[in-house]
Structure 1
């Protein structure tokens, strides 16, 4: 598996199809039908929007020569109760639907975590929405990779790999 950083990532029809299919996983508030329709119009007009913010690093995941998904690291400045604030990267892993249920998310996560530990010093966290239809599978995947529950934000659960 290869992870290639994309410094100018933009939405594509493929990304929007994935977000539409798994909208509950990413948050209805961020990817409403109207927001997805707007992004589709941007793509179709030849002016796609960036899909990663300025505090993010975006990687395309390749397996056997095929682009199977994306991975984003979003830098957050986190202040836990009673603790000094620290920088943490939030992990966002996306395996395109046609490559799902093949163990590729597990493989990508394991291989990326090895790379992450060699490259970054900050703790890594993953936010899992309780509304995610795949909540149990995502939690199982993260826990098997070494993530532990670090907080509950009501609608979401935060897992941290330290």
Structure 2
């Protein structure tokens, strides 16, 4: 799997369809049907909005055959902390793609010095919350009982150094 930062990630019809059809997993990303229609019109006119604006980050996920399978997003929370979000398109769900992406991304995150802490929250409405919880815990995240989120920090994580990543 390859993880590639995209500083110009824009909305596509595929992304909109996915988040609208999976609102129980991702929440209300668009505030109204009118907002969805406006974005679809911008896409049709060749002027889509950005999906990730600074200081947030978007990373695209590609599997070995070169297929684009989804995104990891980082939402800046301040103080060298980002919240991780992951989207794997339905066609590529399963096959350990989310787990592989999260584990590889944690190494990238700490190796590149993006931040010192990653947090993740699972919506209670997410039908995959038990599976996601297991993936996060197996990937080195801890559960914060106070705020109900998951986190990992550079000081807690044994990440690969760049030489390990290259072979």
Q: With the length of structure 2 as denominator, give the TM-score of the two structures.
A: 0.82
**Aligned-residue offset at 1:68:** 0.9
Q: CA offset at residue 143 of structure 1?
A: 1.0
Residue of structure 2 equivalent to 1:54: 54
Q: Which residue of 2 aligns with 1:110?
A: 103
Of 141, 149, 156, which aligns to 2:143?
A: 149
CA contact (8 A) 2:75 2:84 kept: yes
Q: Quick one: structure 1 residues 18 and 152, their matched pair in 2 at CA, closer, same or farther if it must change by over 3 Å?
A: farther
CA distance in 2, matches of 1:20, 1:143: 28
State the Cα deviation string for residues 73-97 of structure 1 (Å, max 9, x = none): 22212xxxxxxxx330111111111
Q: Give the C-alpha shift of residue 105 in structure 1.
A: 0.6
3-state DSSP of counterpart to 1:19:
helix
What is the alpha-carbon root mean square deviation over aligned residues? Answer: 1.7
Higher strand share: 1
- Structure 1 residues 144 and 53, CA, compared in 2 at 3 Å: closer, same or farther? same
- The answer (yes or no) to whether the contact 2:69–2:88 under 8 Å persists in 1 is yes
Name the CA distance, whole Å, in 2 between partners of 1:127 and 1:117.
19
Q: For structure 2, which runs of at least 5 residues remain unmatched after alignment?
A: 154-167
Cα–Cα, structure 1 residues 63 and 24, in superposed 2: closer, same or farther, change >3 Å?
same
Superimposed CA distance per residue, residues 118-149 of structure 1 (whole angstroms, 9 cap, x where no aligned partner): 12241111121111121111111111111112
Distance 1:112 1:50 in 2: 22
- Once the two structures are TM-superposed, the CA of residue 159 in structure 1 deviates from its matched residue by 0.7
Q: 1:48 to 1:151 in 2, by over 3 A?
A: farther
Residues 42, 49 of structure 2: 8 Å contact kept? yes
Aligned length: 150
Q: Distance in 2 between matches of 1:56 and 1:151?
A: 26
| 1:22-70 residue CA offsets vs partner (Å, 9 max, x unmatched) | 1111113x33551333322221222211101211111111112111111
Does structure 2 conserve the Cα–Cα contact (< 8 Å) formed by 1:20 and 1:33?
no
Deviation beyond 3 Å, 4+ runs, structure 1: none
Q: Distance in 2 between matches of 1:135 and 1:75?
A: 23
Matched, 1:160 2:151: yes
